Amino acid sequence: MTEYIILYNFAIPNLHPANVMKKFMSIILLSVEALLFLLPCNVFAKSDKENYHIFWDDVPKNVASRYNEAFMHSGEPWVLEFADSLEHMANSKKPEFTFFATELRCHNAYMNGDSLKFLNLSEKTRNLALKFDYRSLYFGEMMNLVEFYRHAGDFYQAKYWAHELIKEGKEFEDKHALYFGHMALGAIISARHDYRRSNEQFEISLEYLNQMEGKNQLAASSLQTRIALNCLNAKEFQKSLKYALMAEENGSSEIFLPAIKATCYFELDDSENFKKELKKYYANTKGIDRNTDPFSVRLNIQKLADDGNYDLALEKCKELENDDEYTFKSMIYRKMGLWEEAYKCAEIEFNIKDSINATIVEDELSGMTTDLETITRLQEMDEKIMNQRTWIILGFSIFIILIIIALVVWARIRSMKRMKEMLERTNAELKKARDIAENSNSIKTQFLQNMSHEIRTPLNAIVGFAQLLGLPDGINTEEEKTQYNDYIRNNSNMLQMLIDDILDLADVENGNYRIDMNDASVNDICNSSIKSVEYRTPDGVRMYFTSEVDNDYKIFTDARRVQQVLINYLSNSCKHTERGEIHLHCSKTENPGHITFSVTDTGTGVPADMAENIFERFTKLNAFKQGTGLGLNICRTVAEKLGGVVKLDTSYTDGARFVFIVEDATYSD
């Protein structure tokens, strides 16, 4: 159905001037023109469907059929109702239907002669064509404007839109637009009887048509017919005949083509071919009244002259109007050899045509003058607007300057405030850094003093008891020697533990603290921890281990690091428990999904408000107890590395209870 999309590109008869149909050549011109604009529609339709995405295949057949029918009956009220239906479908299904609904309304306004509505809808149609990328239809709508103004006799506006069509065709390199643009420009120039310049445009149009894919021979024949007609009007009979024959060869269906050829043969004194073409024309136009048909009347005059019946032919010329009468009289006098009379008639013909051209030029100039007056008024309005705009811009500029000044002042104040805040913050940070440095220095001094005491005590014991063991035999009993050896071993272990804590702290600080994850037996870890510290258990204190898991129960962890935490817990309990018990317990139920190790003692305990502080470095609740104050801090570091948690259970009040919680990867609900 797309061949009807730009059907109204061809000339609409009821918009033509009434007197045009009275002229012989003008009737031929209009009929050829109608065919000329109708035929290329197939070219556009293919281009749209293939290149500009007009997908009519998925449209219901009843809609497509109705659309065709609406175009063929433009001007009837129901067409606008169908356009409203398309608009409704566009809102719910296919937005592209908005274009076609607007196009129908535009065509309807054109057919009803509603110029203002047509011009308004034409602009809307062009905008929608650009929106949906229907470029060829956009150019087609521009062509409609050319035809509208040309048929209304406004050749100035018609020429303007023809030039716009050519300009945009060049910009988009669109051969269809260039084809139609030059063809329209040729038709406008032809209306001013400048047939040679008109043919220049038609020949350019024909050249673009030949460059298009799927060349339409019928469209080419129509253009060739138009060129032949122009040549005939310009009295270039050989060239006119040449193009008429080319049009015929391309399969022209133009019924008036034989009339053009007959006139050429008549002017070239080829009586035989004249009569032959005359018969073709009569055969093509059977049923037409020869006495009223303008074509038949003019051809009859030529036939009378060809038969030598000059007087009757001259009498018949009086039935023609304006320049046609003198055109034919001049032609007959030339046949009769009366050159002076032929010249006089030609002169009258020229004056009449010159008068017609002057009227056309006057109309064009009038249009240009009107446009010039409009432009002048617009310029005056622009000057007023510019003056108003100047004052507005000046006032706005002052306002902007004041705002900028205010912003600069505000930014300056804010900057000074920020600088003050930054200075105060820097001073606070410096003070804090100074306090940290002083505190670090104090801690370092305290640590060195503490370490000096902690290391000196076991060393003195080791040296002292070693000297006692070195006394001559007989002074020390065997029991005393055994006791001295135990003292030396215990103090050596304490010294080793101090050194281990310092080395562990150094590893943590340097990032060299390694974690080796493997499957490890929970109960084996606990039993090894008990054995490592049981010799440190004070007299009168019971150390024991209980577990909620089987001996073969394993978790994925670093057994050595878990044992290190438990040993630190147990050693800490040994220092602060003088009687009672130290209990190491392993639980699965205390924290589901985790293994909870706990060391509970009946010692001096830890105040609740110190629950976090005791895990800090160098923190000791009793300065007289041996130790560096690093053990619990190292426990926290180990727990974090293993993804676990160490804490003091503040709910336990009969001593101290330290908890170590690690994830149990084997847990399931």
Q: Which residues are CB-contacts of 338 (< 8 A; sequence separation ≥ 6)?
A: none
Give the number of C-alpha atoms closer than 13 A to the C-alpha of residue 432, restricted to the C-beta side.
6
What are the Cα distances from residue 250, in Å, to 40, 190, 246?
15, 23, 6
Name the least confident of 139-148, 193-202, 412-421, 610-619.
Answer: 610-619
Radius of gyration of the chain (CA): 56
- Report which residue type is found at 438: E
- Per-residue model confidence as pLDDT tens digits over 80-111: 888 888 888 777 667 778 888 888 888 888 88
Mean pLDDT of 382-407: 84
| 382 confidence band (pLDDT: 50, 70, 90) | low
Nearest to 597, CA basis, from 585, 609, 581: 585
Residue 596's DSSP bridge partners are 587, 661
User: 29 near 190, Cβ under 8 Å?
Assistant: yes
Cα(216)–Cα(264) distance, integer angstroms: 26
Per-residue pLDDT averaged across 510-528, rounded?
Answer: 83
| Exposure on the CB side of residue 647, measured as CA atoms within 13 A | 11
Q: First CA to last CA across the chain, in angstroms?
A: 71
DSSP 653: -
In this predicted structure, which of 160-164, 502-506, 656-660 has the lowest mean pLDDT?
Answer: 502-506
Nearest to 199 by CA among 178, 182, 176: 182
Q: What percent of the chain has pLDDT over 70?
A: 74
- Specify the range with the lowest mean pLDDT, choosing from 144-158, 351-365, 381-395, 572-586: 351-365
Strands 554-557 vs 580-587: parallel, antiparallel or unpaired: unpaired
Identify the structural domains of the chain with CATH numbers, from first to last. 514-663 (3.30.565.10)
SS3 255: coil
Tell me what percent of the residues of the chain surpass a pLDDT of 90. Answer: 8
Provide the 8-state DSSP code for 20: G
Pairwise pLDDT comparison (59 vs 312), residue with the higher score: 312
Q: How far apart are CA 450 and CA 433, in angstroms?
A: 24
Query: Is pLDDT above 80 for 399?
Result: yes
Q: Residue 586: its pLDDT value, please? A: 94
List the structure tokens of 518. Answer: 């493997």
pLDDT of residue 114: 85
Q: Are 141 and 123 a contacting pair, CB within 8 Å?
A: no
Local structure of 455: helix, strand or coil: helix
> For the segment 251-292, what is each residue's pLDDT rounded down to a tens digit?
877 777 888 888 888 888 888 888 888 888 887 777 677 666
Mean pLDDT of the chain: 76
pLDDT score for 34:
41
The answer to whether residue 629 scores a pLDDT higher than 70 is: no
Question: Helices 97-111 & 135-151, crossing angle to 10 degrees?
Answer: 10
Asked if the model's pLDDT at residue 14 lies above 70, the reply is: no
Grade residue 583 by pLDDT with cuts at 50, 70 and 90: very high
What pLDDT, on a 0 to 100 scale, did the predictor assign at position 364? 54
In this prediction, residue 661 has a pLDDT band, given cuts at 50, 70 and 90, of very high
Spatial CA neighbour of 465 closest among 484, 478, 445: 484
Strand-pair partners of 557? 518
Tell me which amino acid residue 123 is: E
Instruction: Work out whether the CA dihedral 602, 605, 611, 613 comes out positive or negative.
Output: negative
Burial of 319 (0-12, 13-18, 19+ CB in 10 A): middle
Binned at pLDDT 50, 70 and 90, residue 507 comes out as low
Q: Torsions phi, psi of 113, nearest 5?
A: 75, 20
Contact yes or no for 222/254 (Cβ under 8 A): yes
Considering only the C-alpha atoms of the chain, give the largest distance between any 2 of them, rounded to a whole number of Å: 182
Please give the Cα distance from 197 to 185 (Å, whole number): 10
Tell me the C-alpha to C-alpha distance, in Å, between residue 508 and each of 292, 345, 517, 630.
Answer: 119, 123, 18, 12
Token code pair at residue 452: 């000096």
> Tell me, what amino acid is at 155?
F
Q: Is the pLDDT of residue 624 over 60?
A: no
Task: Grade residue 455 by pLDDT with cuts at 50, 70 and 90.
Answer: low
pLDDT at 317: 82
Q: Is pLDDT of 146 > 80? A: yes
Give the pLDDT confidence of 26-73 residue by residue, as tens digits.
444 444 444 444 333 333 333 443 433 344 555 566 677 777 777 777
Give the Å distances, CA to CA, from 446 to 31, 332, 618, 648. 118, 139, 9, 25
Place of tokens 């940070």: 429
pLDDT given at position 315: 79
Is residue 221 within 8 A of residue 250, CB to CB? The reply is: yes
Q: Which of 8-22, 376-390, 574-588, 653-667 has the highest mean pLDDT?
A: 574-588
Read off φ and ψ for residue 648, nearest 5 degrees.
Answer: -100, 130
Hunting for tokens 């910009």 — which residue is that? 171
C-alpha torsion angle, residues 476, 482, 487, 493 (rounded to 10): 140
Q: Which residue has the tokens 């037996």?
A: 521
